[in-house]
Amino acid sequence: MDILLSWLSHWQGAVAVVLVLGGLILFHELGHFTVARLFGIGVRTFSLGFGPRIWGRQVGKTEYRLSLVPLGGYVSMVGEEGEEEDPEVLARDASNNVTFDRSESFALRPAWQRMLVVLAGPVANIILAFFIYWGVALFIGQSFLEPVIGSVVDGSPAAKAELRAGDRIVEIDGKPIQDWSEVIEGIGAGQGRPVKVMLERDEGREIVLFTTEITPEAKTRKNIFGEEQPAWLIGIMAAGTYGTRELGAMDALTAGFKQTWGMIAFTLESFKKLFERVVPLDQVGGPILIAQMVGQQAEYGVTGVLLMAALISVNLGILNLLPVPVLDGGHILFALIEMIRRRPVTDKVRDAAIRVGMTLLLGLMLLATWNDLVRLFS
């Protein structure tokens, strides 16, 4: 029975990985497809999956295809490979029928249209993340770290004020406290002046409320990137218990926006710290790490998988916006240069930039895969 449960657990994780990675890439391609069609750009093929064709249906000039490898998909637009130089090739759809004309060529469109088509992929990933955060907040609720003390440092201001593990902080300087982040903000807001803290304590037979005054100490603590930062502390640690609060439609919408923006800001800061070498290169992860993370979240249920998918979706969107040739950001950069100079970048410059971009991207993929393998077998 244990072997069967273990096998089912692994299959559950594998299915979650395929659904998440495939869905995120497919949604990215759907962004390109939607804006291309809005501009009247011809699309030969929209494929769910890669590799050999399993099934397809021609609708208008586009073949909608189901392919063998379910990790993502692709959009084949008319003229995106320089086909405008050959009218005969330009005019063929997925069934080799002569139907497209030069007005439907992606390459012959104004730079701003091409830029928006390319930009639509990363933007679609950001939009998907927002809908996930909003949906989770609306239908499941918003989780938060409860303001319950887990431990008190000996000799600290909190210990001198006789705070105990299990105490719940309910107010700081008259402001109601609902989660642990507000505890940190409330203590730090005074910049070292004494703060009045109201606590709730379970005395066994009754719940007691009491207020005490605590003077924070100037200390340093490590942030999520491992950097030492100054902080005002009283010597308490969170118990690590989480609660869930129900949200109405508008509150859930606001929470979705805040979580999405917070994840965008965090992702941008992560890239900045990586380039500054604050985050070491051995922390860079690739497909194996992503698969492991999704598989782990699958063990905790659908909510964990959805939140992980939102995180990866934001990262995928931001990564694709980096101004590296072969990524969407590189194509956007070429389009911006063309709009400023009023003429496209020369083929020689474009080809050289693409070679450099391919080298950088390949190097990053090899580094990420190497790090994944080291973590996997260490």
The strand order across the sheet containing 168-172 reads: 175-176, 168-172, 195-202, 207-214
Question: 371 to each of 280, 290, 291, 292, 377, how far by Cα in Å?
Answer: 11, 12, 14, 13, 10
Please work out, in degrees rounded to the nearest 5, the angle formed at the alpha carbon of residue 308 by the alpha carbons of 268 and 322.
30
Q: How far apart are CA 72 and CA 47, in angstroms?
A: 9
Q: How far apart are CA 78 and CA 44, in angstroms?
A: 7
DSSP for residue 110: -
Q: Is residue 289 helix, strand or coil?
A: helix
Tokens linked to 53: 């064709």
Alpha helices, H only, 140-179? 157-160
Among 29, 80, 83, 104, the active-site one is: 29
Q: Is residue 72 helix, strand or coil?
A: strand
Name, in order, each residue with C-beta under 8 angstroms of 19's C-beta and a sequence gap of 6 or more: none
Residue 267: other Cβ atoms inside 10 A: 17
Q: What is the DSSP code string of 200-213?
A: EEE-SSSEEEEEEE
The answer to whether the beta carbons of residues 25 and 72 sit under 8 Å apart is yes
The answer to whether the beta carbons of residues 261 and 318 sit under 8 Å apart is no
Cβ-based burial of 353 (10 A; exposed 0-12, middle 13-18, buried ≥19): middle
State yes or no: is 29 an active-site residue.
yes
Name which of 72, 65, 71 is nearest 43 in CA terms: 65
- Residues designated as active site: 29
